[in-house]
Amino acid sequence: MSQNIYQFIDVARVDPAKKPLNIRKIEFVEIYEPFTQQQAGAQADRCLGCGNPYCEWKCPVHNYIPQWLKLANEGRIIEAVELSHQTNTLPEVCGRVCPQDRLCEGACTLNDDFGAVTIGNVEKYITDKAFEMGWKPDMSDVEWTDKKVAIIGAGPAGLSCADILVRNGVKPVVFDRYPEIGGLLTFGIPSFKLEKEVMINRRRIFTDMGVEFRLNTEVGKDIEMAQLLEEYDAVFLGVGTYKNMRAGLANEDAPGVYDALPFLISNTYRVMELEDSPEFIDMRDKKVVVLGGGDTAMDCVRTSIRQGAKNVICAYRRDEANMPGSKREVKNAREEGVKFMFNLQPLGIELNEQGRVSGVKVVKTALGEPDDAGRRRPEPVEGSEHVLSADAVIMAFGFQPHAMPWLAAHDVELDQWGRIKAPKAGAFAFQTSNAKIFAGGDAVRGSDLVVTAIDEGRKAAEGILDYLEV
Binding site for ligand SF4 (CB under 6 A): 59, 61, 63, 65, 88, 94-95, 98, 100, 103-104, 119-120, 123, 451
User: What value does the CA radius of gyration of the chain take, rounded to a whole number of Å?
Assistant: 23
List of residues 6+ apart from 31 with CB closer than 8 A: 18, 19, 24, 192, 193, 332
What is the per-residue burial (b if ≥16 Cβ within 10 Å, else e) of 170-198? bbbbbbbbbebbbbbbbbbbbbbbbbbeb
Binding to ligand FAD (CB under 6 A): which residues in 229-288? 238-240, 264
Binding to ligand FAD (CB under 6 A): which residues in 75-134? 97-98
- Least separation in angstroms between residue 233's CB and ligand FAD is 19
- Least separation in angstroms between residue 464's CB and ligand FAD is 16
DSSP bridge pairs for 460: none
446 in Cβ contact with 402 (< 8 Å) = no
List of residues 6+ apart from 374 with CB closer than 8 A: none
Q: Which does 299 bind (CB under 5 to 8 A by kind): ligand FAD, ligand SF4, none?
A: ligand FAD
- Least separation in angstroms between residue 170's CB and ligand FAD is 19
Residue 42 or residue 116: which is nearer to ligand FAD going by CB? 116
Residue 213 or residue 467: which is nearer to ligand FAD going by CB? 213
CA distance 458 to 185: 17
Binding to ligand FAD (CB under 6 A): which residues in 419-448? 441-443, 447-448
Mark residue 282 as left, alpha or beta (left: phi above 0; alpha: psi -120 to 50; beta: remaining): beta
190 in Cβ contact with 302 (< 8 Å) = yes
Q: Which does 188 bind (CB under 5 to 8 A by kind): ligand SF4, ligand FAD, none?
A: ligand FAD
Q: Which of 16, 95, 120, 153 binds ligand FAD (CB under 6 A)?
A: 153
Q: Which does 298 bind (CB under 5 to 8 A by kind): ligand FAD, ligand SF4, none?
A: none
- Least separation in angstroms between residue 96's CB and ligand SF4 is 9
- Under the binding rule (CB under 6 A), the answer on residue 376 touching ligand FAD is no
Residue 8 or residue 192: which is nearer to ligand FAD going by CB? 192
Residue 108 or residue 396: which is nearer to ligand SF4 going by CB? 108
List of residues 6+ apart from 40 with CB closer than 8 A: 72, 121, 122, 125, 126, 129
- Under the binding rule (CB under 6 A), the answer on residue 455 touching ligand FAD is no
CA distance 91 to 465: 23
CA distance 314 to 33: 27
- Least separation in angstroms between residue 269's CB and ligand FAD is 13
Q: Which does 330 bind (CB under 5 to 8 A by kind): ligand SF4, ligand FAD, none?
A: none
CA distance 88 to 68: 12
Q: Which of 166, 271, 344, 450 binds ligand FAD (CB under 6 A)?
A: 450
**Nearest Cα residue to 247 out of 299, 293, 281, 312:** 293
Binding to ligand FAD (CB under 6 A): which residues in 162-221? 175-178, 183-185, 188-189, 193, 218-220
7 in Cβ contact with 45 (< 8 Å) = yes
Amino acid code (one letter) for 443: A
Q: Which does 249 bind (CB under 5 to 8 A by kind): ligand FAD, ligand SF4, none?
A: none
**Nearest Cα residue to 332 out of 16, 12, 31:** 31
Q: Which does 59 bind (CB under 5 to 8 A by kind): ligand SF4, ligand FAD, none?
A: ligand SF4
- Least separation in angstroms between residue 55's CB and ligand SF4 is 7
174 in Cβ contact with 154 (< 8 Å) = yes
- Least separation in angstroms between residue 295's CB and ligand FAD is 4
CB-side neighbour CA atoms (13 Å) of 95: 32
Run of H or E including 364: strand 357-370
Residue 137 or residue 220: which is nearer to ligand FAD going by CB? 220
Residue 77 or residue 151: which is nearer to ligand FAD going by CB? 151
List of residues 6+ apart from 138 with CB closer than 8 A: none
Q: Which does 119 bind (CB under 5 to 8 A by kind): ligand SF4, ligand FAD, none?
A: ligand SF4
- Under the binding rule (CB under 6 A), the answer on residue 68 touching ligand FAD is no
Q: What is the contact surface with ligand FAD in residues (CB under 6 A)? A: 97-98, 152-158, 175-178, 183-185, 188-189, 193, 218-220, 238-240, 264, 295-296, 299, 441-443, 447-451, 453
